């Protein structure tokens, strides 16, 4: 059983999905990716989650994010379940759902937690950057559906902080002020952040979000 930590390289795999066979790395290409697991097909919470992801297609596309789901059930089960999702959630699922009956991918990504359930995956979420590095890991119990608005918020933060010398404070939303990282000297801030800054404390310097006009 693998243990994956932040900054690790996301394991590659080949798998059958509802959209055909994929090689995970080739499928991601130069995109960001979300890989998330579901305890089983035809489960109520998962049905709402997959419907929500389908409705967020444009939001993920704006951020250059590809999404793949996983369940330990098989391909035919997935295809039948997708019909139910489309019907009940009034949407169209057009992203791959991985069939992981042999639990190969689940074990690669440590998605089965025996003390929760010895056979079914927990609700794992992995955000992976274009360099195939794991940037975020969230694990939910089977009973709690995920907040995909929060995943979009985190991706906005990850993409912002990957390219600018800022961090995002508590409850940050896209457009809010950011924290200047401690590695930037105060005297260097004007040259890096021409929008200005506010020094709350010497270690807490705030600046408007740098990637907005």
The total of structural domains in the chain comes to 2
Look at residue 64 and tell me if it is in a domain: yes
Per-residue pLDDT of the chain (213 residues; tens, 9 = 90+): 468 899 999 999 999 999 999 999 999 999 999 999 887 788 899 899 999 999 999 999 999 999 999 988 888 999 999 999 999 999 999 999 999 888 888 888 988 775 656 566 668 899 999 999 999 999 888 888 899 999 999 999 999 999 999 999 999 999 999 999 999 999 999 999 999 999 999 999 999 999 987
Q: 159 in a domain, yes or no?
A: no
The domain spanning residue 176 has which CATH number? 3.30.1020.10
> Strand 32-38's sheet: what is its strand order?
97-99, 65-71, 32-38, 123-128, 134-140
Q: What CATH number is associated with residue 93?
A: 3.40.30.10
Instruction: Say if residues 88 and 47 touch (Cβ distance below 8 Å).
Output: yes
46 carries an active-site annotation: yes
The answer to whether position 151 is within a domain reads no
Is residue 7 in a domain?
no
Catalytic entry in 46, 111, 155, 179: 46
> Strands, DSSP E only, in 131-203?
134-140, 166-167, 178-180, 198-201
- pTM recorded for the entire structure: 0.89
Residues 92 and 35 in one domain: yes
212 falls within a domain: no
d(CA 94, CA 96): 7
Cα distance between residue 131 and residue 32, in whole Å: 9
């Amino acid at each position: 059983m693998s243990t994956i930590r932040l900054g690790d390289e996301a394991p590659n795999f080949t798998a059958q999905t509802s959209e055909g066979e994929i090689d995970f790395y080739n499928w991601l290409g130069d995109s960001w990716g979300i890989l998330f697991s579901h305890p089983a097909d035809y489960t109520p919470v998962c049905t709402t989650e997959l419907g929500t992801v389908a409705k967020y297609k444009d939001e993920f596309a704006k951020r250059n994010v590809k999404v793949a789901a996983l369940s330990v059930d098989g391909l035919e089960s997935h295809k039948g379940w997708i019909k139910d999702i489309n019907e009940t959630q009034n949407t169209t699922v057009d992203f791959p759902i991985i069939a992981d009956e042999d639990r190969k991918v689940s074990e690669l990504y440590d998605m089965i937690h025996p003390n929760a359930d010895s056979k079914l995956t927990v609700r794992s979420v992995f955000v992976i950057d274009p360099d195939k590095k794991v940037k975020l890991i969230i694990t939910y119990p089977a009973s709690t559906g995920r907040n995909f608005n929060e995943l979009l918020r985190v991706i906005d933060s990850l993409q912002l902080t990957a390219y600018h010398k800022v961090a995002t404070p508590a409850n940050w939303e896209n457009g809010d002020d950011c924290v200047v990282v401690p590695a930037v000297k105060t005297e260097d801030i004007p040259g890096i952040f021409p929008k200005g800054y506010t020094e709350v404390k010497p270690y807490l310097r705030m600046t408007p979000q740098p990637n907005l006009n």
